[in-house]
Structure 1
Amino acid sequence: MLKRISAVVIAAAMGAATLVASPAAHATSVAKPIIKDISISPSPVVVTSSTEVSATFSFGTEFADPTKVTASLQAPGGATTPLTLTASDNSTKWSGGAKFGRQSAEGDWKLQITAASGKESTSETRGFKVVQVWETDIRGFGASPEPIAAGQYLTVQGALVANSTTGWKALAGQGVWITFKEQGSSSYKRIAWDRTDHRGAFSDRIKVFKSGWWRAEFEGVSNQFHPSTSDSDQVDVRHKPRPPAPKPDLDSRIIKFNASPEPVKYGKYVYLRGVLQVEDRWSWDGYDGKVSIWFKTKHGSWKYVKTTWSNGSGKFYTKTKATKSGYWKAVFGGDRDVDPSSSARDWVRVKR
C-alpha cells in the first residue's frame, strides 16, 4: 500500500512539473529584420541650375515592425535630415523623396535605413553623390583695334567667370578658344587658345587679313562647369589699295606676217607666220608673247580664230583649215611692259 501511494505522489509531481514547463517550450522567437533592394535614383544627383532635382529612395523589408522603419539623409559634414517614407505591398516596400538644389552641399551623402521588431534591429547605409554643375560666363570680350590694317596684330581679351554658392567668381586655369567667322561665312573656326589666369582673364594677339566676327568659347568641364560663349565683336580689316599697273613703255610690232599658200584649196591648211618684236632703245628685238590669229571675209568683220606663242626670237607659226576667202592678221595684246600691236593683213583666196 505504501508503494502505491509513493508511485502516485511521484506521478503527480512529474505532471505538475510538466505543466509548469509547458509555456516556455511553446514561446515564439522574433526574427531579425531584413533590409533589401535599396535603390537611389538618380545617382549621382546632378544639379545644373536653380531648378531643384528630385531624387527617389526606395527599399524593401522583411520581419520588420512597420512602425519601426525609418530612413534619413546625411549630408557631407554630418547634418542629418529625416526622410518621409511611404509604405506599400503590405508594409514590405518603402519609398521616400527629397529635392536637391543650389543650397545642397556637394559631395558624398548617405542614405541611412533602420528596421526594428521587438528587441531586434537592422541598419543599412548607402552612399551617393550630389554634383553641382555651375553656370559660366565670358565677360568684357573685345577685339581691338578696329578698324585694323591687313597684316597687323589684333588683340582679343576677356574674362571667364563661374557662378557659385557665394556668387560669380573668376574661373582660373581654364582653356578658352578664340574663334573667327569670316565676312560672308556662316560658321566660326578656331584660331587661337589661351588659359585663364587667377583673375579669369585671357588674351592673345593674332595677325589678321580678313574682316569678320571674333568671339571666345569655353567648352565647359564635365560635372563641374557649363560651356559658354561670349558676344561677338566685328572687326573691319582695311587693305591698302593696289598701286596702279605701270603703263607699258615699250613699243611692239609684228613684221613679216604671211598667210600661205595663196590660193589654197578648200579644207586645206593655211600656214601663218610672222615675227613679234619690241623696241629696245635704238633697235628692235624678238619678243616671246601670246599672239592671236584673226580672220575676216571681204565685207565681214574680224573674228578670233586661235592663239599661238612666239619664241625667244619673236618668231611664231601656226596653221588652220581654210574654208573662205578673206583677210588674215596676227595681233599681240600687249602686257605689263609692252604696248599691243597688230600685223598687216594678208589676203588668201580659197578655191574649190
Structure 2
Amino acid sequence: MTALAASALLVPAAARADVSEAELTLGFDRLAADRVVKISLSVTSASAVTNVTAHLRYLSSTAEPYATLQLTRTQGTDDDGVWEAEYRPDIAARPGVSVVDTVITTADGATTTRRAGFVDCYTTTIEGLAGSPSVVDADHPDTTLRGRLMVRRSRDEAAEPAAGAAVSAADAKATTGADGSFALNVRGAPTVDASAQGPLCSTEQKAPVTVAMQATEISARLTPGSTVAPYTQMSVDGKVLRHGSAGLAPAAGVTVALDLSSGLADRSPLQVRTAADGTFHAFFTAARDVGVSGTVAVEAQGGGFLTGSKTSLGTMNIRNTATIDDFVLLGRPLAYGEAIVADGTLVVRPDFTNVTNLPVYLEYSRDGKTGWTIWARQTLDRPKAFYFNTTKPVTQDGYWRFRYPGGPRNTAAVSPVKYIDVKYRTQMYDFNASPEPVKKGKTITVKGLLYRFMDKAVPGPNAPVSIYFKPSGSSKWSQVATVKTASSGWFSKTFKADKDGTWMASYNGSANYFASDKPSDYVDVR
C-alpha cells in the first residue's frame, strides 16, 4: 500500500526567493518491509538551487524537528531538477502523523518552504462483521454487531488480532479482546469505526444489516387561518404517523420542517421534532409586506427507519385586516315605501400602504343567508366612517348588511346582519262622537274610518279599534269598548250619555301594520 502526499503550500521565508515552481511529494508504503518514506521535491528557479533540507516534526507543524535530512539532486539541473531523500520512521516511538518541511535555498540567499505529511501506522481491517438480527425496523430497531479487528504489519506477514483496541458504532463502544473480537449493541445499521490509535491505522465498515424502512404520513393545520395580517404569529400543529408492523403508529423524534414560499415569513422557521405521540408544533411570523401569497407545506424528513413525507396546507395570503364597525340602521321598524338610512365605519389594519379607493356596499337579503343583492354603493377615499341615505323605497321585510369586497392588499369585511321589519302605516279619518251637545241618558254614537296605506290608501277591514273616554276635568283615559271595522273600514259604537268628556279611537297596530293616530272629540252632556 502506498501513501502519497503533495503540497504547494508556501511558508513565509526570510526573503523572497526566485523559485517559480516547487512540488513536494512523499511516498510511503505501509505494507513494505523496510517502511521507508521517500521524499521527492521538484524545483524550478531563475537562479540555481544551492541547498534543500527536510525537517521532520511529530504531530504538529510547530514541534521541534526530530530529524533533519539533506536532499540530493537526482535529476535535472540546479535550475530545474528533482531532489530526493529517504527516511525510515520509528513507529514505536512516533506512531501517527509526521509533518515534513523542505526548505529550498537559492543562489540569491533566499529560502522557500514546501510542506507535506505522512501517517505511520499499521493497516487494520474488520473481519467477519455480522448483525443479529440482520434485518431491523422501527418496531425492532436493535441489533448486535460482532466482528474482529485485525492488524497487518507488512505484506509478508499475515493479519493478526488487534487486542485492546477501541471500536465504536454510533453511541456504542467496545474494546477488542485478545482475539480482536468485539460486540456492539446498536440501533439500525451504523458504521463500525476503529479510529487511529497508537500504531493502528483507522478503518471502518458499514454494518451488514438491512433496515426495513417504514412509510410515514403527515397531517397538519395552519392557524389562525390562510389569510392573515402582517406579523401575525402563525402556528402549524400536526401529527406524523408511521406504517408499523401492527398498523399506523406515532412516529416519535421525526424532524419536521416547514416549506414556505418566498416572502411569507419574517424569517426562516426553525425545524422541530415530533413528541412521543407523533405530534408537533411549529411556528413562524408572517412577513410585513401585504399582497404576498404563497404555498405552505410541511415535510417530515426521512432517515433512520422511516421514509419522509410531505403535505400541503394550501395558499397563505398576507393582507391588511378590514372590519366594518358601528353598523347602525335607522327607523326600525320601517314604514312601507320609506328609504333605508344607515351608517358604519370601515377600518383597515395595519395599513402600512395607505390604501385608497375602497368600495362599500349596502346589501339586502330576504332570508339573511342567500340572495344578497347590492342596494346602494359608494367608494371611500380612505378607511373611515361612512353614511348611506338612500332614496329607493323599501317594500318588504328583510336583512341588511354592509360589505367591503377586499382587494389585493386587504381582506374582505362584512358587518353584522340586521333585520328590518317593514309595516304599513294606518290613519283614522272622519272620527266623530255625536250628537253634541246631548241630553243625559241619551245615546252617543262614536264612529270613524280606518285607512291602511299600502301601494295606495285602502280601507282597513276587520281591524280591532279601541274606544277610550276621558271625563271632563280628568287626565286619565279609560278603555270603554273594542269594536271591529267593517269591510268598508268604518266602525261605530253607541254609548249612554252620562257625563261631559272626550272620546278617542285608536288602532293599536299588528305584526304588519303600524298603530294609527288617535283622533278625539269632546261631547257636552246636559
Q: TM-score of the superposition, structure 2-length normalised?
A: 0.33
Decide which structure has greater strand share. 2
Greater length-normalized contact order (CA 8 Å, ≥ 6 residues apart): 1
